[in-house]
Amino acid sequence: MEARIKRRIAMMFYTCTTVGGTRYLKEWMQAIKKLNPHKIVIARDVSRSEPIDVNVEVLEYDTRTPWKDYESRHIRWESDVSILEGIKILVKHFLTCNLTHFIHVDSDVILSDMAVYQIGQKEWDYLQIGIPVIPRELPPTENWRNHVGTFYESTNFGLSRRLAEKIVDQLAEKIVKPYPVDINIHKIIKENYRTLQNPVHHNIYDTKIVHYIKGERVMR
């Protein structure tokens, strides 16, 4: 039976992503909608993205860093600057909405029914989502399929409103050099999470989430 979140707890989701390549966006949308979000938003770097063909709210920005192609978008980590800018815009926009929880899921990551179920299991302040990845520094001669692992400090994460309020300005102030953007973001989240009164952490793992790696559908 297809999983969908039933509103047993008072979480109102702002779900979003930051694009680059958009070839998996329709599949991403199908999974995201199972969270029953109140809002779905895409931050789009116009210099680094392909046309968007789904009907959602789009926040456009421009880092003026030319797009090459989907496969080379991570070379020299050029995309980290764009990803950080998009996430900063999205967190600020979230705080203008009357919603309780922010969830960012990369557009090439497809939530499974089990992940959707687990995300809605309890109210949380800090959500980490384990996704299959490969090391960025992997030599091109290596078979990347032998190096797939699960990573929890990616740009797939969630924030309660009170935690988002704490980090929103720090995303700009503390991250001078974005690479590695995902680890830097989680460092700031963790620093502020510890200052919350009775904080709740929620870790999503072993849920068969899909990540498209080098054009292949990888599941863990």
Residue 8 in any domain: the answer is: no
How high is the pLDDT of residue 50?
81
Residue 3 in any domain: the answer is: no
How high is the pLDDT of residue 74?
53
Partnered with residue 42 across adjacent β-strands are: 17, 58
Q: Where in the sequence is the domain holding 17, given as residue range(s)?
A: 13-219
Q: Which residues have a Cβ under 8 Å from the Cβ of 199 and sit 6 or more positions away? A: 125, 126, 163, 193
How high is the pLDDT of residue 171?
96
CATH number of domain containing 204: 3.90.550.10
Residue 4 in any domain: the answer is: no
How high is the pLDDT of residue 68?
66
Q: Residue 34 in 3-state DSSP?
A: helix
pTM: 0.93
Residue 69 in any domain: the answer is: yes
At 168, list the tokens: 């929103």
How high is the pLDDT of residue 1?
41
**b/e for 97-135, b at 16 or more Cβ within 10 A?**
eebbbbbbbbbbbbbbeebbbbbbeeebbbbbbbbbbbe
Residue 74 in any domain: the answer is: yes
Residue 21 in any domain: the answer is: yes
How high is the pLDDT of residue 77?
64
Neighbours of 72 (CB within 10 A): 11
Count the domains in the chain. 1
**φ and ψ at 63, to 5 degrees?**
-85, -5
Alpha helices by DSSP H, the chain? 25-32, 79-94, 113-119, 161-167, 170-173, 181-193
Residue ranges of the chain with per-residue pLDDT less than 70:
1-9, 67-77
Inter-residue contact 80 to 179 (CB < 8 Å):
yes
| DSSP result, 193-207 | HTTSSS--EEEE-SS
Beta pairing class for 101-104 and 157-160: antiparallel
**198 vs 180: CA distance, rounded Å:** 29
Residue 6 in any domain: the answer is: no
Residue 2 in any domain: the answer is: no
At 135, list the tokens: 């090391």
